[in-house]
Structure 1
Amino acid sequence: MNAETVAPRKRAPAPRRTPVGGLLRTRTFGLFWVGESTSGFGSAITTVALPLVAVSTLHADTSMVALLTAANWVPFLVIGLPAGAWVDRWPSRRVLLAADLVSAVVLAGVPIAAWTGVLTMGMLLAAALLAGIAKVFFDLAYNAFLPHLLAPGDLLEGNSKLQTSASAAELAGPGLGGLLAHAAGAVCGILIDALTFLVSAACVAGLRAGPEARRDRVGNLSVFRQIAEGFGFIRRESFLVAMTVMAAIGNFAMTGLIALRVVYLVRTEGASPGTVGLVIGASSLGGILGAVLASRIVRRFGNARAYLVSNLAIAPFILLLPAAGSGWRLSLFAAGSLVVLTGSTVSNIITATFRGSYVPVQLLGRVIASSRFLVFGTAPLGAATAGALATTFGIRTAMWALAVLFAFTRTLPLATSIRPLRDFPTYRA
C-alpha cells in the first residue's frame, strides 16, 4: 500500500491545547516521564564517567577508550533487527522493566569491582556492551510503548516533553559527570547512573497496563520473516522512505562533523579546551529550544509542513561550521550548531510522532528497529570517512565537504510527496 494512494487515511489530528503542565499532570505519563528523564541524566553522566574510569583508574590508551565508546553502538548493528522482532512479540512494559534492571545491575558492578580492586578493562568493555544491549531493547520498547500510553492527539506533546528532558540531560549530564569525577571519583558517577535505572524501573512498574494487554501478536512467523516485514513496511511507504533516507545520509554527515569538531576548533582555530566546551555547550541549548518549539510550530503550520520547513531552514546554517574562524568568528560555529540542533530536534520529534500514529502497532517495534539499523549504521561510516578526508585533504576541507552533504540532505523532502502536504496522514491498526 502506497502512502500517496490510500484514500481512507485521514489528516493527522491537531495536538490538543492542554493546561500548564499538560501531560505531566497525568499520573501515567508523569510517572513515565520522571523515570525516563532520571535515567537519561544518569546515562549522560556515564558518557563522561565511563571513559574517565578507563583513563584514570585503568590507565587505558586511546584505542581502548575508543573501543569502549564503540561498544555502546555495536548492539544496534548486531542485534537491533532481531530485537525489533522480539519486542513486537513481548509486552513492551515488561521489556522496559527488564532493560532497566539489567542496566542497573551491570553498571553497579563497575564501582563494586573498582572498590574491591578487581576491575579490568575487559570487565569495563563487557559492562559497556551489556548496557548497550539493554539500551537497544529499552529504546525499541520505549518507542513501541508510547503509542499505547498516549492518545494519538497527545503523541506530539509527549514526544516534545521527553525530548526536552533528554536535551537537558545531554546539556547538563556530561558536566555533572566531570564534577562528580573530580569530587568523588569517576566510579561514583557510574553508581549514580545505576541508581537512576532503579528509579526508572520503579516508575515503569508503577504504570497501569492500559491497552498494552490487548496488543496484537505476530503469530508463528520466523524472526527473519518478521524483520523482512519491518523493512517491507518502510519500503512501501513513501513518507517513511524519504524520512529514513534523509536521516541516514544526514547522520553520516553529522557524525563526521561531530568526530572532527574538537580537533577542528583546537588545532585549526586555536581555541582553548574551555572555549571548546563553552561553544559546544551553548549549541546544545538547541535541543531544548527545538523540543519547546515543536508543538507550537506544528499547531501553526501542520506537521508535514513543519517537518519540511524545519529541515530546509537549517540547511544554510550548517555551512557556518566550516566558515568559523578564530576570535569572534567562533560564534559562527556556536550559532550554526545551535540553529541546526534546534531544527533537527523539531524534525526528530515530528518523525517520532508520525511514526507512532502511522505504523500499525503490531509492526511498530520492527519498523523502528529497521529504521534505527539504517540510520545508526551510517554513524561509524561517517566518522571513518571524516578521518580519511581530514587526513587526505585537511580538516577544514573535510568539514566543508560534510557540511555541504548535510545541507543537501535537508532538501531531499522537496522531491517527495511530502512537499504539497500540510499534515501527514495517520493510520492505526
Structure 2
Amino acid sequence: MKLREQKSFVRFWTASTTSNLGTYITTIALQVLVVVNLGGSAVDVGWVSASRWLPYVLLGLIAGVLVDRFHRKTVLVVTDMGRGIIFAFICLLAVIGVLSIGWLMILLVLFGAMSLFNDVAYRSFVPQLVPRPLLTRAYARLEQSAAVTETGGPAIGGGLVSWIGAPFALLVDAVSYLFSGVLMASVKHQPSDKVKVGPLGQQIKEGLQWVYQHQYLRTLALNTHVWFLFHSMTMTVLVSFFLIELGFDASHLGFALASAGVGAVAGTSLSTRAGARLGIGRAMAFSRILYAPAVIVMALAPATNTSDSLNIALIFAVVGQLLYGFAMGIEGPLEMGYQQYVTPSHLQGRMNATLRSINRSVVVIGAPLGGAIADELGFLTALWISIAGLALCGLWFGLSSMRKAQIKEYEI
C-alpha cells in the first residue's frame, strides 16, 4: 500500500503546501504592513498578532462540534476561499489608504476564525483520504512540506515585500488560499460518519470526555498542554535573547530560526522509521526528551563582543535550533497520526478542536509570561525556567503509560 497511489491525498497535499507557503509570507508581510505602512508600534504588532489567535480561545470547542456536523471538505473549501477574500480586501484597503490598525485587527479576527475551522477540518479530513495504517506516513509528508515552507517562506516573503510592498505580498497569499480552495474542491473522499445532532453543550462534553478519559490521549493531551506553556515561553524569550544578549542582527536571526525548519525536514523524513523501529509512544517520548538539551545549547551561547564570538554564538544558536526542529519533526506526524488513528470518525473534529484550542489558550498565557520573567529576572533565568519545564515534560512523558502506545499494522 503506497501513499503516492492515494490521488485524493496528493491533491490535498498540494493544496495544503500552497496555503502553508502563503501563510509564512503573510507572517512577515503583516509585520511590515503594521510598522511601515500604518506607522504602528511594537505594541500594535503584538495586538495584531494576538487578534489572529483570539478565535482559538473563544470558539475552539464550539468549532469542533460544528465541524463534526458538516462535510469537512466543504469547510476547507469555504474557509480557504474566505481567507483569500479577506487578504485581498486588506490589500485593497491599504492601497486606497483607508486601512487602520483597528480595521486590520477586526479583519484578522475573521481570518483567525476561518483558520480555526480550517485547522480543525484539516486534521479531521486526512482519515477520509487514506487508510488508517497510512496516517502517520501521510502526516509525515504534510509535516515535511510544512517544514520546507517554514524554512523558505520567510525568505520569499521578505523578498516579495521588498519587491512589491507588504499589501501586494498579502495579495499573493490571497491567491494561494484561493488556489488551495479550488484544488481542495476537486478532492474525492470517503464520507464521514453522520453525527447525531444534539445539544451543543452535550457534544462539547463528549469531545472533552473522549480526550481526557482515554487511556493514552489523556496523558498525551495533558503533557502537550504543559509543553506548549514552556514552548511558548521559550520562543518568546529566544528572539529577544538572540537580538539583545547575543547581538544578532536580522540576518543572523533569520538564519538561526531557519535552522529549525531544516531540522524539522530531517525529523519528518525519519519520523515513520522511528515510529516503526521504536514504537509510536517511545519515539514521541524520545522527541520530548530532546527539547530541553536543545534549549540548553542555545542558553550556553556566549555573549558577543567580537566577530569571532558572534560566529561562535551563531553556531550554538543554529545547533540548538536544528535539534529543536528535529525533535518537532520526529514527533509531529506520529502525534497527529496516533490521535486520528484511535479516534472514531464522528469525534474527529471535537478531538482536534479540544486539543488545539486548549494548546492555543496556553500559548496566550505562556508567551507573555516568558516575556515578563525575562524583563524581571533576565533572559537566561527565563530560559533556564523553560528548560526545567521542558525537561519535566520529557521525563513525565517517558515514564507514563503513553510510551506503550502503538498503531497496529504500522509499516514503513
TM range (shorter): over 0.9
Q: Verify: 1:102 aligned to 2:118, yes or no.
A: no
Instruction: Choose the corresponding residue for 2:194, options 212, 216, 223.
Output: 216
Distance 1:310 1:282 in 2: 17
Counterpart of 1:423 in structure 2: which amino acid? Q
Aligned pairs for 1:371-390 within 5 A = 371-390=355-374
Q: After alignment, is 111-120 or 27-36 more displaced?
A: 111-120
Pairs within 5 Å for 1:125-274? 125-208=105-188, 210-212=189-191, 214-219=192-197, 221-274=198-251
Q: Tell me by how many angstroms 1:334 deviates.
A: 1.8
Residue 303 (str. 1) matches residue 280 (str. 2)? yes
2:386 is equivalent to residue 413 of structure 1: no
1:25-51 deviation line (CA, Å, top 9, x unaligned): 542111111111001100110011012
Please report the TM-score for the alignment, with normalisation by the length of structure 1: 0.90
CA distance in 2, matches of 1:408, 1:398: 15
Closer, same or farther: CA 237–125 of 1 in aligned 2, 3 Å:
same
Instruction: Identify which range, 360-369 or 409-418, moves more after superposition.
Output: 409-418
Aligned residues of 1:242 and 1:412 also touching (Cα < 8 A): no
1:273: Cα distance to partner? 2.6
Structure 1 regions of 5+ residues with no counterpart?
1-15
- Cα deviation, residue 422, structure 1: 6.6
Q: Distance in 1 between matches of 2:223 and 2:113?
A: 26
Q: Which of 355-364 and 122-131 deviates more?
A: 122-131
Moved more, 232-241 or 113-122: 113-122
Following the alignment from structure 1 to structure 2, what is the Cα–Cα distance between the partners of residues 158 and 273?
35
C-alpha distance after superposition, 1:60-115 (max 9, x if no partner): 12211111100111111011110100001111011111101110111110111122
CA distance in 1, matches of 2:227, 2:67: 27
Query: Are residues 1:63 and 2:43 paired?
Result: yes
- Quote the Cα distance in structure 1 between the aligned partners of 2:357 and 2:95: 37
Q: 2:137 and 2:276 mapped to 1: Cα distance?
A: 11
Indicate yes or no: 2:387 matched with 1:423.
Answer: no
1:119, distance to aligned residue in structure 2 (A): 1.8
Instruction: Tell me how far apart the structure 1 counterparts of residues 405 and 117 of structure 2 sit (CA, whole Å).
Output: 34
**Could you tell me how far 1:333 is from its partner in structure 2?**
2.4
Counterpart-to-counterpart distance in 2, 1:145 and 1:377: 23
CA deviations on 1:128-152 (whole Å, 9 max, x unpaired) are 1111111000000011111111101
Cα displacement (A) at 1:365? 0.6
Q: 1:314 to 1:59 in 2, by over 3 A?
A: closer
Partners of 1:358 and 1:425 within 8 A in 2: no
In 2 relative to 1, CA 422–68 (structure 1 residues): closer, same or farther, beyond 3 Å? closer
Is 321-330 or 58-67 further displaced after alignment? Answer: 321-330
CA deviation map 1:319-369 (0-9, x unaligned): 212112242143222212211221122212111001111011111111111
User: Which ranges of 4 or more aligned residues in structure 1 deviate by more than 3 Å?
Assistant: none
* Match of residue 49 from structure 1: 29
Q: Distance in 2 between matches of 1:338 and 1:381?
A: 26
**3-state SS of 2:196 partner:** coil
**Which region of structure 1 is more displaced relative to structure 2, 159-168 or 297-306?**
297-306
TM-superposed deviation, 1:424 = 4.4
Which residue in the other structure is 2:270 paired with?
Answer: 293
Taking the aligned partners of 2:372 and 2:263, their CA distance within structure 1 comes to 29
Q: Following the alignment from structure 2 to structure 1, what is the Cα–Cα distance between the partners of residues 222 and 314?
A: 31
Task: State, as a whole percentage, how many aligned pairs show the same letter.
Answer: 25
Structure 2: unaligned runs, 5 residues or longer: none
Contact 1:301 1:422 (C-alpha < 8 Å) held by counterparts = no
Moved more, 385-394 or 298-307: 298-307
Aligned residue type for 1:217: V
Per-residue CA distance 1:167-202 (angstroms, 9 max, x = gap): 111111111111111111111110011101111111
**1:8-23 paired onto structure 2 within 5 Å:** 18=2, 22-23=3-4
1:365 aligns with 2:349: yes
- Hey, what does 1:276 align to over in structure 2? 253
Aligned pair count reads 402
Q: Give 1:336's aligned residue.
A: 320
CA distance in 2, matches of 1:413, 1:249: 11
Distance 1:309 1:319 in 2: 17
Q: Quick one: which of 404, 414, 421 aligns to 2:388?
A: 404
Aligned equivalent of 2:331: 347
